[in-house]
Amino acid sequence: MSSSFHQKSLDLLSEQLGSKGIHINSLISKIATFQIAVPSWALGAGGTRFGRFSIGGEPRNLEEKLEDIGLLAKLTKRTDAVSLHIPWDIPQDVQAIRQKAADLQISFDAMNSNTFQDYGQPLSYKMGSLSNADPAIRKQAVEHNLQVIEIGKSLGSKGLTVWLADGSNFPGQAHIRKALQWTTESLKEIYASLPADWKLLLEYKPYEPNFYHTVIPDWGTSALICRQLGDRAKVLVDLGHHLPNTNIEQIVATLMHQNLLAGFHFNDSKYGDDDLSTGSVKPYQLFLIFCELIGGAEENAQTWESISWMIDASHNTKDPLEDLIQALEAISQAYAKALLVDRKKLALCQNEGDVVGAQEVLQDAFLTDVRTLVCEARIQSGGEADPLAFYRKEKIRAKLIAQRGKGAQASGL
């Protein structure tokens, strides 16, 4: 899009929104300051579980992962942090990594522990980790989490994300109550070592890799555990970790109401934990989630700053950097649209039982084309007007392949 066309579109939108009493400058500054962390495992064309088809030029080490995020930050201005996964991302030289991140203006978001696979540790996690019937395995899994906290401290992170694969595949395989009890006790030990200015983000997931029972299957179980840990433990909502058609915006509202929302792993889903690009399948759901977030923050249920924002998706059919550019754009668009909701009018419709009116308020915001607004926010922040077009025009993947090699694959899922 030419810059004069962009300006014309912006003027038109400004007039259109102005007639509704909305001033675009405050919208632009909100969109511009909203930053979403990127996980280190999304930088490789790894796919989630079924085969890797390398695209080449993937980051071969932590330094190169930081470089990729630095590039995303420069083009999009919508991310300024990386979320590391241990042991995939153990820093060899902490000082050098800190320096590199500082040079790229990247900070370290929540650290992720890994007790869902074997990577040479003495005892196997085949039958579970924090919930394992064997106390020695539970101890090993707890200690791994404590090591992750230590690494995170050395890098300046402020959070620990725990996702457990623990559960069972067959009825009778596990003692369901004991597994929950052991998990809670293990997490209590981890929480006891959490620095005072850290938070613990506890994920849930109804199935996969276990298909009969998962120890933390849903937000309610995660919330029950968090309540027993302390107020720095909160529930992490990964959008893909729900059964089909779950009302995720209601979960978000409920968690905010209880001051129990830790943050998000953004992705999209058609069937389950598909890890599809955010906004590619259900953009309306994403918009409704942001409506709850904005409403919850405005009504002081929970502050915006207390919520962590991250992408969690990984593909084997897309260039991961292009995918992340798309995801950052989709999240910004959903946020921008939710900012347009006439909340006073919505409250009035709700109070008066005007069902049709309430729907109109939401659709009026959702159907507004906010791409110009998101683009303007990016330009004002010093990013590219069209990051995807720029990435392709500059042949960035080809340059990365030339630098890192055709077979270069990132570590990760």
Binding to ligand PSV (CB under 6 A) within 2-31 occurs at none
SS3 31: helix
Q: How far apart are CA 277 and CA 329, in angstroms?
A: 11
C-alpha 31/C-alpha 45 separation (Å) is: 28
Residue among 79, 80, 45 nearest 59 (CA): 45
Which residues 207-246 are close enough to bind Mn ion by CB under 5 A?
238
Binding mask 277-316 for Mn ion (x = CB under 5 A): -----------------------------------x----
**Restricting to residues 161-180, which ones interact with ligand PSV according to CB under 6 A?**
163
Q: Decide: 321 and 387 in contact? Cβ < 8 Å.
A: no
Pairing state between β 107-108 and 111-112: unpaired
Q: Which is nearer to ligand PSV, 112 or 278 (CB)?
A: 112
Q: Specify the 3-state DSSP secondary structure of 234.
A: strand
Binder to Mn ion among 273, 292, 323, 329 (CB under 5 A)?
A: 273
Structure tokens at 285: 């759901």
In single-letter form, the type of residue at position 301 comes to A
Q: Which is nearer to ligand PSV, 68 or 312 (CB)?
A: 312
DSSP strand pairing (167-168 vs 199-203): unpaired
Q: Write the DSSP symbol of residue 85.
A: B
Which of 265, 315, 337, 378 binds Mn ion (CB under 5 A)? It is 265
| CA 37 remoteness from chain centre | 7
Q: How far is the CB of 377 from ligand PSV (least distance, A)?
A: 28
Contacted by 112, from ligand PSV, Mn ion, none: CB < 5 to 8 Å by type: ligand PSV
Residue with tokens 């904005």: 294
Per-residue interface string for the shown chain with Mn ion, residues 338-377, x marking contact by CB under 5 A? ----------------------------------------
Q: Using CB under 6 A, which of 65, 144, 205, 337 touches ligand PSV?
A: 205
Q: Which is nearer to Mn ion, 14 or 277 (CB)?
A: 277
Question: Which option in Mn ion, ligand PSV, none does residue 77 bind, with CB closer than 5 to 8 A by kind?
Answer: none
Please identify, using beta-carbon distances, which residue of 86 and 377 lies nearer to ligand PSV: 86
For tokens 């120890």, name the residue.
215
- Shorter beta-carbon distance to ligand PSV: residue 160 or 375: 160
Site for ligand PSV in 273-302 (CB under 6 A): 273
Residue closest to ligand PSV when measured from CB atoms:
163
138 contact, one of ligand PSV, Mn ion, none, CB 5-8 Å limit per kind: none
Exposed/middle/buried for residue 355 (C-beta within 10 Å: 0-12, 13-18, 19+): exposed
CB 73 within 8 A of CB 79: yes
- Cβ-proximal residues to 25 (8 Å cutoff; 6+ apart), any chain: none
312 or 376, CB closer to ligand PSV?
A: 312
By the rule CB under 6 A, 203 interacts with ligand PSV = yes
Nearer of residues 273 and 322 to ligand PSV, judged by Cβ = 273
**3-class DSSP state for residue 83?**
strand
Q: Which is nearer to ligand PSV, 232 or 265 (CB)?
A: 265
CB 190, CB 145: distance < 8 Å: yes
- Binding partner of 64, given Mn ion, ligand PSV, none, CB within 5-8 angstroms per partner class: none
Q: Which is nearer to Mn ion, 78 or 85 (CB)?
A: 85
Q: Does residue 109 interact with ligand PSV by CB under 6 A?
A: no
Contact 179, 203 (CB under 8 A): no
Contact with ligand PSV (CB under 6 A): which of 58, 89, 218, 238?
238
Shortest Å distance, C-beta 142 to ligand PSV = 17
Half-sphere exposure (CA, 13 Å, Cβ side) for 168? 14
> Which listed residue (312, 319, 322, 329) binds ligand PSV by CB under 6 A?
312
Q: Strand 233-238's sheet: what is its strand order?
A: 111-112, 159-162, 199-203, 233-238, 261-266, 308-311
Angle, CA 159 vertex, CA 247 and CA 188 arms, to 5°:
85
Contacts with ligand PSV, residue ranges (CB under 6 A): 112, 163, 203, 205, 238, 265, 273, 312
Name the site residues for Mn ion (rule: CB under 5 A): 238, 265, 273, 312
